[in-house]
Amino acid sequence: MDLQQIKYFLALAHELHFWKTAAKISITQSALSRQIQSLEAELGVQLFERNKRNVKLSPAGQFLREKWEVKLNELEFFHQHARQIQLGESGTIIIAHPDSISASIMPDMLSRISAALPKLKIELVQVKYEDQQEFLRNYKVDLLITRDINTSDDFRSEKIHTDHLAIVVPENHPFRDAKNITSEALNEQKFILPVKDEGSSYSDIIHQFFRSFNVVPDAYLHSEFGSAIIALVRKGLGIAVLPDSYRFHESTGIRFITMPFKTELFLNWRVDDQHPVLANVLKLILP
Amino acid sequence: MDLQQIKYFLALAHELHFWKTAAKISITQSALSRQIQSLEAELGVQLFERNKRNVKLSPAGQFLREKWEVKLNELEFFHQHARQIQLGESGTIIIAHPDSISASIMPDMLSRISAALPKLKIELVQVKYEDQQEFLRNYKVDLLITRDINTSDDFRSEKIHTDHLAIVVPENHPFRDAKNITSEALNEQKFILPVKDEGSSYSDIIHQFFRSFNVVPDAYLHSEFGSAIIALVRKGLGIAVLPDSYRFHESTGIRFITMPFKTELFLNWRVDDQHPVLANVLKLILP
DNA sequence: ATCCATTAATGCAATATCGGAATTAGTTTA
DNA sequence: TAAACTAATTCCGATATTGCATTAATGGAT
């Protein structure tokens, strides 16, 4: 059973049309037809119900389409990681990080890495909260920086930084410093908050912030991205609570008021990772 | 990339010897050598470090060996399940159940299923507590009977039975009925307990049992298998707390004293399972 | 040092497989 | 009934794979 056949199957399962699929994957309809037949024969499973006119997935085909799609994807990343292992110091390392620290600790961290390992390519990505574990587990990223402590046994986790929370207000806002921040004052503000990820300690700490003031925030806007939130604050759509790190983005038209609430940053990686430079990179990053 | 090539690779990774491996998989050494070469070329990864004398896995090969082994295994079960979907009512359904109920609710359940679906083959297996979720998730079993409520979103779970706990003692033991069971009496007994699975509600309930008597059990023996525990009780090595269902195993030389503590049985299956008879089977089993 | 046994790679010829072009055979539409 | 589609099939040349025999490198024994 050739992986190529499975890819042909997935393409056909998507198009449900031999000619169009054949064109799209650059083989002839005849070849495609026989590849599918041979796949069906080897599996002992009819994948498509087809007559001379129409093609549709059989129930078993439907099942395998779903499963094969994710497994092939996983295999792809394994192969990529194997190539990285082979490449050694001249490979690529993929780091997922929250937007908030793009301008604070990331630049310093990256320059330290690239100074010590000049041949290493670094790829930066941002990963949605709910996908983070899966991405690290399946080798889609090699290092994961989170604001949440990790729960899985497959990962190691170390605290690398502690941020403060800050109130972010437009430049012309009456709030000047921490003295202005009282329950009464907060109660009259409109807030732009991050979407609340269930179980994320980051949104926890923001709730804790409000609870400590005994305030239920009036929030009509939620956004996943800090930079978007900042843009909205600048436009006067409300004020926000964000990690102090955003201060280093040096946006104009807004003011940060640091509060005594802390939020921590964790570096996560796979235990027993085989990436040849990871150990070196960790040595550079960890305190 | 052919799955066959990957199987060849795994065989060679196991033997680390071209000739022996070739013989074992019934091809010639020449063919094997070139299959491995073509696999390496397609991946762009050297899998083995070899000279004219020795073969050993490269670091990347080591990594892929590990990953491929589990993924190929997963694929195998997917293909098997696809065949089951195709077979319809004449397929096989795989049920994992705890040993304790082999003689109580299983016989009745199975005869009901096979009466209604005479063509269906049923396979019974027992799965270690820590593997249960993985087996159900990856289609190694279709139905899973547990004493713990399920936590994953991918599964559905229904309570099918409630057992009582029973004290199991040898025939000649002074304990006769529940009236004998007091804190003082329990404190003088030696216990044979199940291995404690962290997070298993079944071991929880046994702890709860002891706590309600304010007894810390003197247990020098732990065993995973109820039938083993019963054998040990019969030999006078101690007494045990087990689900009342074991009573139906009709072992001689022991006595069950039913206690008012309850332990529940849950039936678990995959949400959105495609197995063609599963819905029918569920209808037969669920209350 | 030299010879021999071992073992992975390679050259070659036979065979099997694959892919493309054209054809065939059902099905739907006008 | 004809025309337009569309998946399967046939035929044939190109390509890949296999087994056999040979080669080249290595390690151990004498």
Give whole-number Cα distances, A124 to A31, A227, A248, A262, B133, in Å.
Answer: 41, 17, 18, 25, 34
Instruction: Report the pLDDT value the prediction gives residue A196, as an integer from 0 to 100.
Output: 67
Q: Which of residues 16-35 of B touch strand C (CB under 7 A)?
A: 17-19, 29-30, 33-34
d(CA A50, CA B247): 55
Instruction: Report the pLDDT value the prediction gives residue A77, as an integer from 0 to 100.
Output: 95
A63/B81 CB distance under 8 A: yes
Tens digits of residue pLDDT in B213-249? 999 888 777 777 778 888 888 888 889 998 888 888 8
Instruction: Report the pLDDT value the prediction gives residue A280, as an integer from 0 to 100.
Output: 93
Instruction: Report the pLDDT value the prediction gives residue B102, as an integer from 0 to 100.
Output: 81
Residue labelled with tokens 């052919």: B2
Instruction: Report the pLDDT value the prediction gives residue B174, as an integer from 0 to 100.
Output: 92
Instruction: Report the pLDDT value the prediction gives residue A105, as an integer from 0 to 100.
Output: 87
Among candidate residues A95, A126, A146, the one with its CA nearest the CA of residue A264: A146
pLDDT above 70 (res B201) = no
Among candidate residues A158, A153, A120, the one with its CA nearest the CA of residue A144: A158
Return the nearest residue to C22, CA–C1'.
Answer: A30
Contacts of A8 by beta carbon, 8 Å cutoff, 6+ apart: A21, A25, A27, A32, A35, A36, A39
Domains located in chain A, CATH noted: 3-75 (1.10.10.10), 86-160+267-285 (3.40.190.10), 161-264 (3.40.190.290)
B78/A68 CB distance under 8 A: yes
B86/A58 CB distance under 8 A: yes
Would you say the C-beta of B30 is within 7 Å of strand D?
yes
**How big is chain A by its Cα radius of gyration, in Å?**
25
Count of CB atoms situated within 10 Å of the CB of B198: 8
Question: Measured CA to C1', what is the nucleotide nearest A31?
Answer: C19
HEC profile of chain A? CEHHHHHHHHHHHHHCCHHHHHHHCCCCHHHHHHHHHHHHHHHCCCCEEECCCCEEECHHHHHHHHHHHHHHHHHHHHHHHHHHHHHHHHCEEEEECCHHHCCCHHHHHHHHHHHHCCCCEEEEECCCHHHHHHHHHCCCCCEEEECCCCCCCCEEEEEEEEEEEEEEEECCCCCCCHHHCCHHHHHCCEEEECCCCCCCHHHHHHHHHHHHCCCCCEEEEECCCHHHHHHHHHCCCCEEEEEHHHHHHCCCCEEEEEEEEEEEEEEEEECCCCCCCHHHHHHHHCC
Instruction: Report the pLDDT value the prediction gives residue B169, as an integer from 0 to 100.
Output: 94
Share of chain B above pLDDT 90, in %: 42
d(CA B11, CA B66): 12
CA dihedral of residues B38, B40, B42, B43 (deg, nearest 10) = 160
Instruction: Report the pLDDT value the prediction gives residue B74, as an integer from 0 to 100.
Output: 95
pLDDT above 80 (res B143) = yes
Among candidate residues A190, A179, A185, the one with its CA nearest the CA of residue A238: A190
**Strand pairing of B143-146 and B92-96?**
parallel
pLDDT above 70 (res B80) = yes
Instruction: Report the pLDDT value the prediction gives residue B197, as an integer from 0 to 100.
Output: 63
Contacts of B90 by beta carbon, 8 Å cutoff, 6+ apart: B119, B120, B121
Q: Are A1 and A43 within 8 A, CB to CB? A: yes
Share of chain A above pLDDT 70, in %: 97
Share of chain B above pLDDT 70, in %: 97
Which residue ranges in chain A fall short of pLDDT 50? none
Distance A6 CA to D16 C1' (A): 20
Band (pLDDT 50/70/90 cuts) for residue B127 is: confident
Taking the Cβ of residue B89 and every Cβ of chain A, the question of whether any pair is shorter than 8 Å is answered with no
Q: Which residue has the higher pLDDT, B222 or B18?
A: B18
Instruction: Report the pLDDT value the prediction gives residue A197, as an integer from 0 to 100.
Output: 63
Q: Which residue has the higher pLDDT, B204 or B84?
A: B84
Q: What are phi and psi of A125, to 5 degrees?
A: -135, 165
Band (pLDDT 50/70/90 cuts) for residue B196 is: low
Residue in A46, A74, A78 nearest the CB of B86: A46
Question: Measured CA to C1', what is the nucleotide nearest A27?
Answer: C19
d(CA B93, CA B31): 39
